[in-house]
Chain A
Amino acid sequence: MRFPYLTPSQIQARLLAIAVGFVLILSLTLTFSPAAREQTPDVAYRLNHWAGVLLWLAMVILAHWQIKKHLPDADPYLLPIASLLSGWGMVSIWRLTGEFGLRQSLWILVCYLFLIAALRRSEILDFLKKYKYIWLTSGLLLTALTFLLGINPGGYGPRLWLGCCGIYLQPSEPLKLLLIVYLAAYFAGKIPVTGRIWPLLLPTMLLTGLALAILVIQRDLGTASIFVFLYAAMVYHASAKRRILLLSALLLVGLGLVGYYFIEIIQYRLVTWFNPWLDPSGRSYQVIQSLLAVANGGLVGRGIGMGSPGVVPVAHSDFIFSAIAEETGLAGALALLALVGLLVTRSYLIALSAENHFERLLAAGLGAYLGAQSIVIIGGNLRLLPLTGVTLPFVSYGGSSLLTSFMALLLLLQISNGREQQDPAPLLRPAPYLLMPSLLGLGLFSLALAAGWWGFIRADDLLARYDNPRRTIADRFVARGALLDRRNALLSYSENSSGFYSRIYSYPNLSSIIGYTHSIYGQAGLEAQLDSYLRGQSGYPARQVWLQRLLTGYPPPGLDVRLSLDLTLQTRADQLFDGSKGAVVLLNAETGEVLVMASQPTFDANLLDEIGADLLAAPGSPLLNRATQGNYPAGTSLAPFLLAETYQQGLELPPFPASLLVEQDERLIRCTLRGEGAPDWVNALPAGCPRPLLTLGGALGDRLAEMAGKIGLQYTSGEAELLAIGQNARITPLAMAQAAASLGNDGLVPAAQLPLAVNIPGTGWVILPPQGQPRSAFSAEAANRAALALRAGENPYWESMGRFESRANPIIWYLGGTLPDWQGTPLAIVVALEADDPALAREIGRGLLEYAILGP
């Protein structure tokens, strides 16, 4: 009987035409993709996958023609869906690795030839039914044989394969099919199921249990859980007893719990499922990389050949879904789920119109198998389910999986053929044929939601992770912005051309401050802090960033950032500081611009490849930026601020103490410098003499803590009176320099500023907003009086020193700055020297300050 609308072969032909069109366009995109990836048309285009695609095309046409001839009434949707999925999978595998692509193409050839040869053999179904025990037993024996002869073609991992000479089969794949055939044949003879169900189930439970035992011993747990599901589904189809589903769900959860405590791999899988973020570079590496791939896909995907799905381990097999999601995006992922859904729907429709119980149970079982296996592996890729190593039917790499999928296709085609002529077998209880596809559909819908969650809602957060290798891959193909000093001298920049960009640090002594960007060691310092400008993600109009990412998958070229550093002064500071440990900060006291920031010892970021592994444990902690991260004890360096606070409060200087030194905890705290002449306030304070400082602090009383807060001193309360000599008080050199700047800046503590401007194409240098507001610490009068009181002889600057006494880690502080009436740029300097050498600290501080004020 003809369809009034279209014959089945017409439907099949039209759908196949679209599927072929899709795969051809996909292949064409892959051919041209290197141009986008390497950002230049002058590239080698990818052509080798066309061999596989043409082979696939020939096979599809042949299969269509043969089905039209021999199975004219077969379901017309199955071949187009299977062809689309297998072609899509094959092109994706070619894209990942040529070698696997070639093998997959050959397997596709084998599968189609098998399908075509077996199409006309209508006796297959009866044959399967008749010898059901033989099939299942031989399947079990083959699977058991892997205990003895099992190998892994990859050379490591579970040994689940049989074969030799380059051809390997995984018997557990066809075993699923044999189990479905056996159960369908067995239950078909027992329908209608009445009375007690358990005696009926006993023989099937025995055989299924045996299969499960083999799989569990082999640790092929994904396949084992699919077996439990398939068994439950088959019993449910036959008996319509819903408690079977419930019981097997409980069984799976129970087995999972038992396995959690006794089987290492289950524990491993469950832990990485519950909380993958704890160990992103170790046990959860695969899952997180898979999620990153899905996130990178976004809505429309990066385009085939333009993403980086190769960074996900075994992307061609277990993670083919995330590879597809990365390159075709949420759009492709949802279409893939829809195709699986169509396959399940068609299988159940075929089941309902099957002419006998065996064919009905078989078709429903095959539908459940294709749906469940897809859900399990895609769920694992999307972290909706624990990860298991099963394949995606028709799509994943692997001969056994592909052949099994095509066998299922063949059986469905055979069952569906001729169902127009016959009357469907009676259906006693329709519930299973409605509930099972609904459950599978619900599963696919949840996967769609999960794909949307990772690929859209959480995508930005995921992509910003430092373990996202796409960032460093993009750095190779897109020039990163340069870091410049205040006169546009290069500090770090990317050189070479697309595909080979590498980072050059032209002034390596700044490595602790500038940091680095590196494929293995990630990012640090200003390279990390200014990453969004340097990477071109900020500064451009959002539309342009979006368009560039849509077209190429990369951000636009990075933007140059100008820093406030002065390379001339910086070089001078490093010369003076050479060989010492500590930090120097020179600020513009008015604006807070950092002119010099040195941290010693440092490293050479150009040599990160060689030295990177040892840097973290290297002596002297060269990775540390001592100027901003070195939280040094303040010691007796606080004289300028004590003095300013005293003037601020309108207090008179107390009587000068009789002694200069302080003994505390059996330690003698000394002056930092030996004073000249008779000690008095004028020479004792800048020399950092502890007793005068304590006296001043005592006169301030409660105001002392207030002062500490104003200059950014971190202290532990308790011995409040000792705060004046900096016991239990810490401060970074940068914060100390900001505080010192207040004496030359009318009592205002400026906000430190290091990045000054960013060079935006078409606009030019755009000044970056200051990173904070100056805050008032002292009145202008008090600050000026303090600065003048500390004036260094006849020099145009003030200075003051201090010391933290410690046998192991002594610190010498040098603080200085221009005087209030200085006509040039107001400056403030801080030296923190990790050595008990006050003369050297003063030499460095004065040397740099005079160089900055007076020039060379």
Chain B
Amino acid sequence: MSLPILLGLRLLAAILLYAFVGYALYLMWRTLQAQSVRLMERGQTPIRIGMVAANGQETVLAFTQPEFFIGRESECELFIDDSTVSARHARLSFHHGHWWVEDTGSKNGTVLNETPLTIPTIITNGDTITCGNTTFSVLLPE
């Protein structure tokens, strides 16, 4: 008889309707999940900064945070006791898949590979950054 068939069709329509809503929500959740996994995987490239002290001793510091400052102020992550370095001299930050260096209005300027910095610039492995009289070398995985 056509009545049970019709009832079946009505139920099927309702199921499809909720399948649509449910699947859309599921896909949104999966996309969120994929996005968070991707961001986690993409992460940031670890950076190491090498510097040579006045006595000739070389030290290498590794940084895990996505942003840090070079400066004379003790709050700076890379703290240099050098009178030619400003309180907050330069900023190194990771975004768009790269490490960037940026002069934060220092008195004596920042030099990247012998070029004075005017805009935020991408740094690569082996670059040297000079703040005042101190020179740092950038160590990034290839």
Contacts and interface: CB of A to CB of B under 8 A. Distances in A.
A15 interface: yes
B1 to A, nearest CB: 8
B24 A29 contact: no
Given A5-B31, A15-B24, A32 B9 contact: yes
A332 B38 contact: no
B34 A4 contact: yes
Nearest to A39: B3
Interface string A58-82: 0000000000000000000100110
A401 B5 CA distance: 36
Nearest to A84: B20
B23 to A, nearest CB: 6
Interface in A515-562: 550-552
A303 B3 CA distance: 11
B20 A29 contact: no
Contacts of B18: 331, 335
A11 B27 contact: yes
Contacts of A423: 96
Contacts of A552: 3
A551 B6 CA distance: 8
A85 B18 CA distance: 13
A464 interface: no
Given A4-B38, A552-B3, A28 B9 contact: yes
B16 to A, nearest CB: 4
A33 interface: yes
Contacts of B23: 14-15, 18
A41 B3 CA distance: 9
Contacts of B56: none
Would you call the interface of chain B mostly helix, strand, loop, or mixed?
A: helix
B14 interface: yes
Given A5-B30, A423-B96, A338 B10 contact: no
A5 B9 contact: no
A328 interface: yes
Given A6-B30, A36-B2, A41-B2, A25 B21 contact: no
Contacts of A339: 20-21
A22 interface: yes
A81 B23 CA distance: 12
Nearest to B1: A41
Contact of B2 (A5, A35, A332): A35
Contacts of B28: 77
B5 to A, nearest CB: 7
B21 A335 contact: yes
Given A32-B2, A84-B20, A22 B34 contact: no
Contacts of B33: 5
A301 interface: yes
Contact of A36 (B3, B16, B31): B3
B17 interface: yes
A335 B3 contact: no
A525 B84 CA distance: 107
Given A4-B37, A28-B9, A29-B6, A332 B17 contact: yes
A319 to B, nearest CB: 20
Interface residues of A, number: 40
B141 interface: no
A20 to B, nearest CB: 9
A338 B28 CA distance: 14
Given A335-B18, A423-B96, A328 B13 contact: yes
> Which of B16, B20, B28 is most buried by chain A, counting CB atoms within 10 A of its CB?
B20
A422 to B, nearest CB: 10
Nearest to A37: B6
A15 B5 CA distance: 26
A228 interface: no
A29 B9 contact: yes
A342 B29 CA distance: 13
B53 interface: no
Interface in B40-80: none
Nearest to A305: B6
A462 interface: no
Contacts of B10: 29, 300-301, 303-304, 328
A795 to B, nearest CB: 62
A19 interface: yes
Contacts of B4: 551
B15 to A, nearest CB: 9
A3 interface: yes
Interface string A1-34: 0011110000100110011011001101100110
A29 B23 CA distance: 23
A81 B28 CA distance: 14
Given A18-B19, A21-B16, A551-B6, 14 more contacts: A4-B34, A5-B31, A5-B34, A14-B23, A25-B16, A32-B5, A33-B6, A35-B3, A81-B24, A303-B10, A328-B10, A328-B14, A332-B14, A335-B14
7 smallest CB-CB distances across A and B, nearest first, come from A22-B16, A5-B34, A35-B2, A25-B13, A29-B9, A18-B20, A335-B17
